[in-house]
A = this chain, B = another copy of it.
């Protein structure tokens, strides 16, 4: 039996709330400074006796010590957090992106502080403010949909906090960005339809205010030109600007209906994105046009609804999760660079989309929607 004095019972006095470093110091018999060095595995830890380390680590574990992130920040200026602002989380586009970001940050033991601008400029600004107050070490903006003028972001670089945008880019080299290569994507989609033998193709272009719209369409035009495919202006429509990222569905429905009313024959339809494609498919179905038998439809993005619809949607896949991961890694690299006083420059990354062939497209031999 051990003598009473042997008992390491912590006097459960008043301050039973939180275990501080001082508690660990007392328990282990070393000074707070040493404890700090050991527990952070700081450079100086090389000079600490292994036995000491062990004792300290044991005490820490025994007491359930948890470093206080706030106190730590006050000294080290490191909050171990990154701000992540979504323009509109409602867009299924965002989910895999968020997953990618989260996963990358997790690897570095950083936490994401989540913000959703609801497509409102003042909300965006307010969140920026809040994130700054929380001293996030970096910022990621997922700007899939609406424009909010992001000059605000330029402000950040002044504060030396690395920022990256996903699905959007700013002029200049202040903010990093990760985007799909829309031109390749546009080509991929049209190429697929063309190779299936489609010649009469209807197009629903993206809203003017979306940055992806123009290059994606350029990809289409260039490819059409290359293979000598004629694009009938009567079969080209454009989604109206809107604040709702999922409005493409209604837009696709309406524009497809209009195509049908024109009684212009087409055997395939290329939509700006997946939801637009699904909207179009619904219009076609309502008019009794079967997909893909009478009309092939291709989307863009590869969000969840594309995979689980009936028929499943052929689409051009954006590697959304990867895009999130990359953006997070880019800013984290910036954070590390700042820490090590290394030089670091902003990055503009284009990722390559990929054709995903499913059930909504097939060869043109069979029929046509008119």
- Residues of A bordering B, CB below 8 Å: 17, 66-71, 73-74, 79-81, 84, 89-90, 92, 94-96, 98-99, 102-103, 106, 109, 111-116, 118, 123, 129-135, 159, 246, 249, 275, 278-279, 281-282, 285, 304-305, 307-312
| Chain B residue at minimum C-beta to C-beta distance from A311 | B285
* Chain B residue contacts of A96, Cβ below 8 A: 90
In angstroms, Cα B321 to Cα A118, docked, is 14
User: How many identical subunits does the complex contain?
Assistant: 2
**Do residues B79 and A90 form an inter-chain contact, with CB atoms below 8 A?**
no
| Chain B residue at minimum C-beta to C-beta distance from A84 | B114
* Chain B residue contacts of A285, Cβ below 8 A: 310-311
| Chain B residue at minimum C-beta to C-beta distance from A284 | B310
In angstroms, Cα B156 to Cα A66, docked, is 14
**Do residues A312 and B111 form an inter-chain contact, with CB atoms below 8 A?**
no
* Chain B residue contacts of A99, Cβ below 8 A: 89-90, 116
In angstroms, Cα B304 to Cα A71, docked, is 42
Q: Majority SS of interface residues in chain A?
A: helix
**Do residues B310 and A308 form an inter-chain contact, with CB atoms below 8 A?**
no
| Chain B residue at minimum C-beta to C-beta distance from A280 | B310
For the complex with contacts A17-B159, A84-B114, 19 further pairs of A-B residues with Cβ separation under 8 Å are A66-B132, A69-B134, A70-B71, A70-B73, A89-B99, A90-B95, A90-B96, A94-B95, A111-B113, A111-B114, A112-B113, A112-B114, A246-B308, A279-B308, A285-B310, A304-B304, A305-B305, A305-B308, A309-B310
Known: A95-B95, A304-B92. A312 touches B282 (CB 8 A): yes
Choose one: B80, B129, B279, B312; the contact of A66 (CB below 8 Å): B129
Closest 9 CB pairs of A and B: A114-B114, A70-B73, A305-B305, A70-B70, A69-B133, A278-B308, A69-B134, A112-B114, A282-B310
* Chain B residue contacts of A70, Cβ below 8 A: 69-71, 73-74, 79, 134-135
* Chain B residue contacts of A307, Cβ below 8 A: 249
**Do residues B98 and A111 form an inter-chain contact, with CB atoms below 8 A?**
no
**Do residues A89 and B102 form an inter-chain contact, with CB atoms below 8 A?**
yes
* Chain B residue contacts of A129, Cβ below 8 A: 66
| Chain B residue at minimum C-beta to C-beta distance from A249 | B308
**Do residues A109 and B95 form an inter-chain contact, with CB atoms below 8 A?**
no
Known: A310-B281, A310-B309. A111 touches B102 (CB 8 A): no
In angstroms, Cα B88 to Cα A96, docked, is 11
A-B contact pairs, 29 of them (CB 8 A): A17-B159, A66-B129, A69-B133, A69-B135, A70-B71, A80-B134, A84-B114, A89-B99, A90-B95, A92-B92, A95-B95, A102-B114, A103-B116, A109-B130, A111-B113, A111-B134, A112-B113, A114-B114, A246-B308, A249-B307, A278-B308, A282-B310, A282-B312, A285-B311, A305-B305, A305-B308, A308-B309, A309-B310, A310-B310
